[in-house]
Amino acid sequence: MRVSELLTFALLQASSAWSSPNEPYEARTVPSKRPQHPIKPYHPGKAFPPSPSRTKTCVVKANGNGTDDSQNILKAIKTCNNGGHVVFPKDKKFTIGTALDLTFLQHIDLDIQGTIQFSNDTDYWQKHAFYQTFQNATTFFQLGGTDVNVYGGGTFDGNGQVWYDLYAKDIYILRPILFGAIGLHGGRIEDLKFRYSPQWYTLVANSTDVVFSNIDIAGGSVSKNPAKNTDGWDTYRSDNIVIQNSHIDNGDDCVSFKPNSTNIVVQNLWCNGSHGISVGSLGQYVGEVDYVKNIYVYNVSMSNASDGARIKVWPGSPSALSGDLQGGGGSGAVSNITYDGMVLSNVDYAIEITQCYGQRNITLCNQYPSNLTISDITIKNFSGKTSKKYDPLIGYLVCSSPKVCSDIRIQNINVTSPSGKDLYACGSITGIEKQVHCTTNGTKGGNS
């Protein structure tokens, strides 16, 4: 045995607990080193809690042949909770056919080297996936607790094709989200591949102090039925979050800041096929107060998308964007939002700000202005070209009333339409005509 092999064997033997009874199988499994991706160049400002090293290791056994591995996974996690390192070995596929509530995690690393695939039993998941209350969101599993790290270079696979085809037949089905960080306080999710989510790829809800780094998101439909609503990340009621250094090829928002998202940095992303980096949608529910503040978005490549920077707010009256997405009348505020540095290619609108989301009748939107204010917005240092869709327009800056929309700064935007012009549809934003080339022709309701 070589020195390196002896060292590896000795380290494994030093671990105090193993969950699998198969010793030769364990001995061949080498835990991954925890990634050390720095948070840079920007930081939300609040310190992230330390994560102590782990003192025991558990290896999850895969049953194979598509058999449900949920009990094996749950057993290993419970054995190694409170100070352990759970390994999902490389070149193994783990099938999850049972909804797992993992919100009890404490001081644990989940080392995903292989592939975790969720079963395609749509009837089961519609009944048993975890309901997250906002916009009828559901998740395959709930990962929460304190000091949880997930990494390893492996893959989460949502088996999305069956869902894309089912949604084409019935828009009211509940499609699970691939990765649910629900009530996670202190954690890093890094060096992973997310594939074929039925709906949003990632929901971060009721969480604090979480970093996502080096995540690769992809997976479209192979049938005539597109993969819809496949947001990369949606943050909801969460604070001190970083999303960075990632590759997203999807069919909806690259990142979306949902209600009560605060102190968030998004940086160094490559986004393709998306609906942009979006604040909102907000103000959807009457009686709810939605806040999004202290957001910094830096250094994003955006191609083949509907939008680059986007802020979308529902109007003050009920509106329907589609049969399964409607609302309006909620209140709150969007403030201290910065988009700094975006390179655009074939994007419909470089910048879109609307308080008429879901309402295509501008007259009606102005009659019932949004109850949610937008203020202290900086959008700067953009370059590139838009698509032909709205040529000669490159942006849409329309609020429902100047009383609820103020202090919007558009700076150093070097973006042109295919015809070479750089016009914006403008409305109800005081002073915006001094910053950009406005036209009142061709205004519309917000994009879907």
Is 43 designated active site? Answer: no
Domain edges within the chain: 34-47+91-439
Distances (CA, A) of 240 to 18, 60, 196, 208, 335: 34, 32, 28, 6, 16
* Residue 97 in this model has a pLDDT that exceeds 90: yes
Bridge partner residues of 233 (DSSP): 255
What is the spatial distance between Cα 369 and Cα 355, in angstroms, rounded to a whole number?
Answer: 8
* Residue 139 in this model has a pLDDT that exceeds 60: yes
The residues near 179 (Cβ < 8 Å, ≥ 6 apart) are: 139, 143, 156, 189, 194, 197, 201, 202, 203
- 55 by Cβ neighbours in 10 Å (0-12 / 13-18 / 19+) ranks as middle
What is the spatial distance between Cα 17 and Cα 85, in angstroms, rounded to a whole number?
Answer: 10
Specify the CATH number for 34-47+91-439; select among 3.50.50.100, 2.160.20.10, 3.40.50.300, 2.60.40.1150: 2.160.20.10
State the CB neighbour count (10 A cutoff) for residue 100: 17
pLDDT of residue 441: 52
State the CB neighbour count (10 A cutoff) for residue 429: 25
Residue pLDDT, tens place only, 301-338: 999 999 999 999 988 877 766 666 677 889 999 999 99
Bridge partner residues of 374 (DSSP): 334, 405
Place of tokens 């054995």: 79
Q: Which of 208, 177, 212, 220 is nearest to 192 (CA)?
A: 212
Report pTM.
0.91
* Residue 447 in this model has a pLDDT that exceeds 50: no
CA 211 to centroid of chain Cα atoms: 12
The greatest distance separating any two alpha carbons of the chain, rounded to the nearest whole angstrom, comes to 79
Asked if residue 367 lies in contact with residue 325, where contact means CB atoms within 8 angstroms, the answer is no
Q: What angle do CA 322, 327, 332 make, to 5 degrees?
A: 140
**From 37, 85, 107, 275, the catalytic residue:** 275
* Residue 443 in this model has a pLDDT that exceeds 60: no
